Structure 1
Amino acid sequence: MSGFSSLEINKKLISAVRDMGWKEPTPIQRESVPEGLLGRDLFGEAQTGTGKTGAYALISLGRVKAGSQLPSVIVLTPTRELALQVSNEFRDLCKYSGHRVTAIYGGASYGTQIKTLENGCDVVIGTPGRILDLHGKEILNLSAIKELVIDEADRMLDMGFIEDIEKIIGLTPEDRQTLMFSATLSDDIRSLAKKSMKDPMEISVSHDTPATDLVKQYYIETPRSKKVDILRDIMANGNPKMLIFCSTKTMVDDLYDGFSKEGMKIGAIHGDMPQLRREKTVKGFRNNRMKVLVATDVAARGLDIDDIECVVNYDAPVDPETYTHRIGRAGRAGRTGVSITFISNREDRRIPSYEEFMGMKVERVTRKQIPRLRIDNPELKALHADEIIKEQPQVSHRKKVDATATKDVVIKADMVVLSLNIGKSSGVTRTDIVSFVAGCASIPEDSIGRVGLSAKGSFVEVEASRADDIIKAVNSARFNGKRVKAGYAPQKERCKDKLAKNQ
């Protein structure tokens, strides 16, 4: 731990860093933390994956005492997902210090957030709109703020938050410390920094991302029809924790539906999914309740998880900067990672563009070489050795993923699957199904599990204890004028049960 000890952070934070598995500080942490602990304003050019969250968390937690009634630290983020991820990292770092952390953002219940603030907290992390909303209701008091952090400032300006940010800055004490981070340094960003900061130290590590040093990059030339089979080969090599990028929501759904039907514990996120469902999925992936997450670029923006072992570009991105951001999800916190990109015949010019942008080579491999690649990370396996992680079921290399839902749906122990007589032919989406069922039965959307769609029907995973009430509520409702019929879906016979019968 001599690496983090050299940053002059206190023993409680060092202990938390050790428990998180961090070995050495990243460049932005080495440059910013010692100066930040002295109270200097900092202006950092840093992309996701450079360790910037850890940098400003170590600074702010190292400078404020725990146990305050009014918040001492406020962190502004552009999205709800990022607010949750930042709050999780803060909580991990607060393991021994006793700081209380809360995330506040739109689209969630006021009640819990208000209660937390009224009970007192040290760190508030949230989106500008909800922060101003709760301040306007005289629930959030910013008069005791000592540390103001503005994360992903460029994204917040792009999203039109400049006026909200300036209002929040004006509500905090003038003698605060301000830490601002942005992936780019536009004139608008510099103008905001000039108005809100005092003689800031400028740090730039925007291009010093984990992709350049810590991620071993491969690509495989393959027709689209073979991609799923190759993906299975990668999954079978050490059972790595894997993030799979697709270019469309439909492709995300296809992979999720197909592998889910085979019994694999897999997650998926894209923009059409309800917010609460996305949050629940990301939390499950972070906590290793699932080892595979399929996502679009938009849904994965701000996703900051340190223990991803492998990134698969199922669809190769056109933009080399997007490629760099994607593969940078592996190789976090000083650990090595692997990226594998599928390239079709018409995409053969993309690899040279990636290489030119990064100034390094991407190695070509064949499918036969996959079993010989080291994809999983032994260090991460050892780090999670004490956690209860259910291994993925063996997935046949011959069986094709079919995204068409059928009535043979896997039922989990505490969940049951219901069938509804509305499907794609009724113009329904998964989001529509979730909203419809939740509305009919007066249950929260995040209590609903997986949703499958076929042409004429849909299948919804719900809590077993509520199933009868949900069926009754749905059967008395209509969707777009059509009377809906709901009932229990037949349970799929598991492979091991079939084998037992044949013995």
Structure 2
Amino acid sequence: MLQKNFSTETILANLRIDELNEMQKAAIEAAAQNDNVILLSPTGSGKTLAFLLPIMASIDKANKKSQALIIVPSRELALQIESVAKAMGTGLKITTCYGGHKREIEENNLIQPPALLIGTPGRLADHIRRGNITTETVQTLVLDEFDKSLEAGFVDEIAFVISSLTGLQKRFLTSATEAVEIPEFAGAADALRLNFLPENEAPKEALAIQTVLSPDKDKLETLFKLLCYLGARPSIIFCNHRESVERVSQALTEKSIVNTFYHGSMEQRDREVALAKFRNGSSNFLVTTDLAARGLDIPNIRYIIHYHLPATEDVFTHRNGRTARMDASGTAILILSSDEKLPPYIKSPVLGIDLPATNEVPEKPKWTTLFIAAGKKDKVNKVDIVGFFTAKGDLKKEDLGLIEVKDFFSFAAVRKSRVSHLLQQIKEERMKGRKIKIAVAK
């Protein structure tokens, strides 16, 4: 049960959730009765809320120091958790720290200590070394997707961060797999273990697995034919290397297939643009590395395409975790060259796909993503953007799709047929009293 400062019912209402699932109920009860908890549960099952509710229960609103810390393996997961935490409506200060943007922005946010701090291991360690975080007051630690953090080589940074938390009292570790041994420095040797993973971590029944054979070692032509066969359903195409991601994306573009790509070497804003386009339907195909297999909450993904075979069973599981989430269905498709075989860990019945001789390029998206050079820090919200586009740009509400407002910029999906007229109408107009750059996102 939450403290008097927060009502569970109010939080769930703010999140538009009617009821917690069994895993979440068990995790919350375990956290209330045990100092250390390890939660194993599949991707997409709601682990974020399972640890955020106990965190909110532990925070003393009168205490103006940092009281809880969440360590995550990627900036995308950090931002996703931040979004859920803020949507809970507790009024607590929440700050996120991650690489890829200016450290000075975070330093300013840390001057007044946040009650809840979310971050990636390297950036958190950097702030601690600089004295920007009040580590001695942190009492609750969450290691979310701890197995991925360890696999990614963050061991030293995580060990340093944990060693700096001298007032630590509670630990909550989560993972979608039980394949990784928990190191001693985590301090969770006596943790209560909750295992909600399917037996043998088998793929969910909602996930179908198929293969398609590529006559060439270079699979580009087979991928093109496959996308023509599948049509414009939202799909993620996984490659094993950043260079391959850009090569595949460029090849598809040259064949008139609208797509976007996403990998770890991109600038943060470019990554945000790519994800916004995929989320809002301006692009139905996302070409990416395994970076996107964790922490991205993108609904309604129909196909996962393994352009390159996954290196391990864990990678296969987490890639596929992007589709068939909760009650949805989805299909994982592996493209196999003549010298490749189906990995031995795939036990489910696998159907082959025979591609037709003729190819029809998938229908192009009806949406275009606009970049708006203002965000939350500029006091701009979704209502402001909708009002501006409808009043000054002659748009109807049905001409507007998904709108995302970040700290310093925003994205809006606009019906492609209306973009030119909109930009012409608003080029001399002001939003909230100032001229703001608005253009098609590149």
Other structure's SS at 2:328 match: coil
**Whole-Å Cα distance in 1 between the matches of residues 189 and 339 of structure 2?**
52
**Whole-Å Cα distance in 1 between the matches of residues 65 and 164 of structure 2?**
14
In structure 2, the partner of 1:233 is: 229
In structure 2, the partner of 1:88 is: 83
Does residue 143 of the first structure (1) align with residue 136 of the second (2)? Answer: yes
Per-residue displacement from partner, 1:475-495 (whole Å, max 9, x unpaired)?
xxxxxxxxxxxxxxxxxxxxx
Other structure's SS at 1:388 match: strand
Aligned partner (choices 102, 105, 114) of residue 112 of structure 1: 105
What letter corresponds to residue 103 of structure 1 in structure 2? Answer: T
What letter corresponds to residue 257 of structure 1 in structure 2? Answer: Q
**Whole-Å Cα distance in 1 between the matches of residues 108 and 310 of structure 2?**
44
In structure 2, the partner of 1:342 is: 335
What letter corresponds to residue 118 of structure 2 in structure 1? Answer: I
Shift of 1:305: 1.6
Aligned partner (choices 43, 53, 57) of residue 52 of structure 2: 57
What letter corresponds to residue 131 of structure 1 in structure 2? Answer: L
Per-residue displacement from partner, 1:376-409 (whole Å, max 9, x unpaired)?
xxxxxxxxx997056999xxxxxxxxxxxxxxxx
Aligned partner (choices 302, 311, 315) of residue 309 of structure 1: 302
**Whole-Å Cα distance in 1 between the matches of residues 104 and 116 of structure 2?**
18
**Whole-Å Cα distance in 2 between the matches of residues 274 and 66 of structure 1?**
36
Alpha carbons of structure 1 residues 280 and 99: separation in structure 2 relative to 1, 3 Å: farther
What letter corresponds to residue 180 of structure 1 in structure 2? Answer: L
Per-residue displacement from partner, 1:106-133 (whole Å, max 9, x unpaired)?
3421221122222453321112332233
List aligned pairs for 1:94-493, cutoff 5 A.
Answer: 94=88, 96-159=89-152, 161-172=154-165, 174=167, 176-182=169-175, 183-184=177-178, 189-193=182-186, 196-197=187-188, 199-206=190-197, 211-223=203-215, 224=219, 225-234=221-230, 236=231, 239-260=232-253, 266-286=259-279, 290-297=283-290, 299-307=291-299, 308-317=301-310, 319-347=312-340, 349-350=341-342, 353-356=344-347, 360-367=348-355, 388=401
Q: Which moved more, 1:214-223 or 1:61-70?
A: 61-70
TM-score w.r.t. the length of structure 2 is 0.68
Alpha carbons of structure 1 residues 252 and 172: separation in structure 2 relative to 1, 3 Å: closer
User: In proportion to residue count, which structure has more helix?
Assistant: 1
CA contact (8 A) 1:10 1:62 kept: no
Other structure's SS at 1:212 match: coil
Aligned partner (choices 13, 16, 20) of residue 15 of structure 1: 13
Alpha carbons of structure 1 residues 190 and 47: separation in structure 2 relative to 1, 3 Å: farther
**Whole-Å Cα distance in 1 between the matches of residues 311 and 127 of structure 2?**
41
Does residue 77 of the first structure (1) align with residue 75 of the second (2)? Answer: no
CA contact (8 A) 1:49 1:304 kept: no
Aligned partner (choices 14, 28, 31) of residue 33 of structure 1: 28
**Whole-Å Cα distance in 2 between the matches of residues 155 and 301 of structure 1?**
10
What letter corresponds to residue 223 of structure 2 in structure 1? Answer: K
Other structure's SS at 1:192 match: helix
TM-score w.r.t. the length of structure 1 is 0.60
**Whole-Å Cα distance in 1 between the matches of residues 44 and 229 of structure 2?**
27
In structure 2, the partner of 1:421 is: none
CA contact (8 A) 1:211 1:331 kept: no
**Whole-Å Cα distance in 2 between the matches of residues 153 and 212 of structure 1?**
22
Shift of 1:243: 1.1
Decide which structure has the larger Cα Rg and report it. 1
Per-residue displacement from partner, 1:346-402 (whole Å, max 9, x unpaired)?
33x306x2433xxx222334346xx9xxxxxxxxxxxxx997056999xxxxxxxxx
Alpha carbons of structure 1 residues 259 and 149: separation in structure 2 relative to 1, 3 Å: same
Per-residue displacement from partner, 1:414-452 (whole Å, max 9, x unpaired)?
8xxxxxxxxxxxxxxxxxxxxxxxxxxxxxxxx9999xx
Alpha carbons of structure 1 residues 212 and 24: separation in structure 2 relative to 1, 3 Å: farther
What letter corresponds to residue 361 of structure 1 in structure 2? Answer: P
Count of residues paired in the alignment? 363
In structure 2, the partner of 1:473 is: none
Alpha carbons of structure 1 residues 24 and 387: separation in structure 2 relative to 1, 3 Å: farther
Other structure's SS at 1:18 match: coil
Identity among equivalent pairs (%): 22
**Whole-Å Cα distance in 2 between the matches of residues 412 and 311 of structure 1?**
36
Alpha carbons of structure 1 residues 101 and 262: separation in structure 2 relative to 1, 3 Å: farther
Alpha carbons of structure 1 residues 161 and 272: separation in structure 2 relative to 1, 3 Å: closer
**Whole-Å Cα distance in 1 between the matches of residues 415 and 236 of structure 2?**
15
Per-residue displacement from partner, 1:318-352 (whole Å, max 9, x unpaired)?
644433322221122443322233334333x306x
Alpha carbons of structure 1 residues 413 and 264: separation in structure 2 relative to 1, 3 Å: farther
What letter corresponds to residue 285 of structure 1 in structure 2? Answer: F
What letter corresponds to residue 201 of structure 1 in structure 2? Answer: L
**Whole-Å Cα distance in 2 between the matches of residues 325 and 313 of structure 1?**
12
Other structure's SS at 2:286 match: strand
Other structure's SS at 1:69 match: coil
Other structure's SS at 2:296 match: coil
CA contact (8 A) 1:68 1:121 kept: no
Alpha carbons of structure 1 residues 364 and 66: separation in structure 2 relative to 1, 3 Å: farther
Alpha carbons of structure 1 residues 302 and 317: separation in structure 2 relative to 1, 3 Å: closer
Alpha carbons of structure 1 residues 386 and 139: separation in structure 2 relative to 1, 3 Å: farther
What letter corresponds to residue 121 of structure 2 in structure 1? Answer: P
**Whole-Å Cα distance in 1 between the matches of residues 108 and 256 of structure 2?**
39
